[in-house]
Amino acid sequence: MPVITIEGPQLSIEQKRELVQAVTESASNVMKMPKHSIIVMIKEIDRENVGVGGLLLSDKK
C-alpha cells in the first residue's frame, strides 16, 4: 500500500476532504492501483514551528 504524506499549513475539514480525494484519484490513475489501497496522511505544521532564512514563518508578514 502506498502512503502519501502531505506536510503543510492547517486546513479546514473541507479542504482536507478535497485534497485527500484529489491526491487519491491522481495516485490511483498514475500507479494503476485501486483507490482503497492508497493511504494519504496530512501533517499540519504551525507557522511558529517553521523557520525560513533564519526567521519563523509566524514572524514574517
Q: How does DSSP assign 18-60, residue by residue? A: HHHHHHHHHHHHHHT--GGG-EEEEEE--GGG-EETTEEGGG-
Q: Which of the residues 2, 8, 9, 51 is marked catalytic?
A: 2
CA 28 to chain centre: 16
Residue 2 a catalytic site member: yes
Residues with a catalytic annotation lie at: 2
